[in-house]
Structure 1
Amino acid sequence: MQLSSRAVSTAVLAALVAVAGYLGDTSLGELPLVAVVGVLALAFAFGWPVLVNLPSRPGSTAVIALGGVGAVWAVHRTAGDPLLRHLPVVFAFAVLLAFVNELLRGGGRERLVESVSGTVAGTLVAVAAAGWVATQRTVGGEGLVIAGALALAVGSAVAALPLRSWAGAGATTASALAAGALAGLVLPGLDARAGVLLGLAVGVLVAALRQLFDRLPALDRFPATLAAIVLPVTVTGTLVYVAGRVLVG
């Protein structure tokens, strides 16, 4: 899949997160967002071992999936601040499972360090998706989720344009910043300053991930492409949560 198609797909997923966040103000509560983020964590777990060419793909996928879904569920079930207090436990358990996965491998356990580090890194990205759920439960959380997802969607869509590396990075960052500023002006509980800073952080992240994964040879395979599409959405979850705690409270 070409870069433009991946970027547009990421934008669509970000828009889906925004819609799920908007539904948080209905009788459904945060369940739509929990479901969307959980599915994204599973999709990322399916593709990450292929994207980074891990030697034990089924085991790594299982570890990453358990870590990601477990983190989302833990945040959903956590009552009171700090909302992320159980994430270290979930992540530590996933790291332990990564070592168990290596013990169960056959064939001499070749590329052991690469396998463990790649699985742990993928688990960290999947766990970061729980930040979307935590964000929605904070003060002004619904607006933060929509603003962050909107900035991600706009920045990802602009990243699909056929621009040179620095020009593309600048356009991606500027468009995400503008989208965040607009959301800050329109959405309740936010202001333009918070929207600008949030959009800037998301734009820089999208531009950096584009440069990091654009030329990986594994992207000609569907699972790897799926992971590259989902990765910006999962990582942005914790970024939006941290930015929201600093900017909004």
Structure 2
Amino acid sequence: MNVSTRAVLTAAAAAAVAGAAVLGEATLVAVAGALVLALSVGWPVLLDLPTRLGSSVVIALGGAGGVIAVTATQGQPYLRELPVVVALAVLLSFVNELARQDGRHRLVESVTGTVAGVLVVTAAAGWVATGRAPVGDALVISGAVALALGAGVSAVPLGGWLAALVTTAAAMLGGGAVGAVMPVLDTLAGALLGLAVGILVAALHVLFDALPALERRTAGVAALLLPVSVSGIVVYVVGRVLVG
């Protein structure tokens, strides 16, 4: 899966998040759950972890637990139970290593990769938390549109700092445009939200797009969904700062 294809599919996934926000909380929870499932399968392949099945199970349980915890939490802050879920998933990652029967080679790499996967998938719960917050639908749509534009522009082969700047600018433009038409937001808030998402997309593009594992389909899916999942927590935090 080449860079252009991944960029287009990332933009499509971001558009799906925006559409889910319009359709309601249940749809947004379902989309977050789908992100968790896809990432839990592809993440161990992307990082070439030694025990892919065990790591996938731990990551899936952590991500699903995060989405369920955020959905069930009554009253703000909606992410207050998420650290407990992450802590339990980290403990589970050690149990996974204790259960290995292969000599536990590459132990540190396996643990750190699995824990990193847990953090990535639990971030998807941020979309659910954002959607439940005041003016949450507007924040989700603004962040998702910024992500879609930033991801789409990242496919342009500019290279270096120019590519990062263009990606961030496109995300700011998308977020600002949505903020301008949303009665509960404004252009500045939308643009700042787009700035945060754009920096994230540009950074992940640099970090992961050169990995040889991306030749595998499941790894490519994980890479293209990575910005969508991580943006969930970014949009929630920035949205809380900007609009409360």
Name the TM-score class by shorter chain: over 0.9
Gaps of 5+ in 2: none
| Superposition deviation, residue 10 in structure 1 | 0.3
- The corresponding residue for 2:209 is 214
Q: Distance in 2 between matches of 1:229 and 1:214?
A: 10
Tell me whether 1:229 sits opposite 2:229 in the alignment.
no
Q: Distance in 2 between matches of 1:175 and 1:14?
A: 14
3-state SS of the aligned residue for 2:42? helix
- RMSD value, Cα: 0.7
- The corresponding residue for 2:41 is 46
Gaps of 5+ in 1: 25-29
- The corresponding residue for 2:143 is 148
Deviations 1:28-78, CA, capped at 9 Å, x for gaps: xx0000000101111001000010111010000000001011101110111
2:12 maps to a residue whose letter is: V
Q: Distance in 2 between matches of 1:48 and 1:167?
A: 29
3-state SS of the aligned residue for 2:103? helix
- The corresponding residue for 2:11 is 11
2:183 counterpart (185, 188, 201): 188
3-state SS of the aligned residue for 1:109? coil
Deviations 1:88-135, CA, capped at 9 Å, x for gaps: 111111011101100110121001111011100110010000000000
1:81-160 matches, cutoff 5 A? 81-160=76-155
Q: Distance in 1 between matches of 2:76 and 2:144?
A: 23
Tell me whether 1:2 sits opposite 2:2 in the alignment.
yes
Q: Distance in 1 between matches of 2:241 and 2:137?
A: 16
| Residues 140, 188 of structure 1: 8 Å contact kept | no
The normalised TM-score by structure 1 is 0.97
1:204 maps to a residue whose letter is: I
Q: Distance in 1 between matches of 2:213 and 2:89?
A: 25
3-state SS of the aligned residue for 1:42? helix
Runs of 4+ in 1 over 6 A off after TM superposition: none
Q: Distance in 2 between matches of 1:188 and 1:116?
A: 46
- The corresponding residue for 1:63 is 58
| Superposition deviation, residue 162 in structure 1 | 2.1
Q: Distance in 1 between matches of 2:79 and 2:185?
A: 22
Tell me whether 1:165 sits opposite 2:173 in the alignment.
no
- The corresponding residue for 2:30 is 35
The normalised TM-score by structure 2 is 0.99
Sequence identity (%): 62
| Superposition deviation, residue 82 in structure 1 | 1.6
Q: Distance in 1 between matches of 2:243 and 2:135?
A: 7
- The corresponding residue for 2:235 is 240
- The corresponding residue for 1:27 is none
3-state SS of the aligned residue for 2:197? helix
**How many pairs align?**
244
| Superposition deviation, residue 187 in structure 1 | 1.3
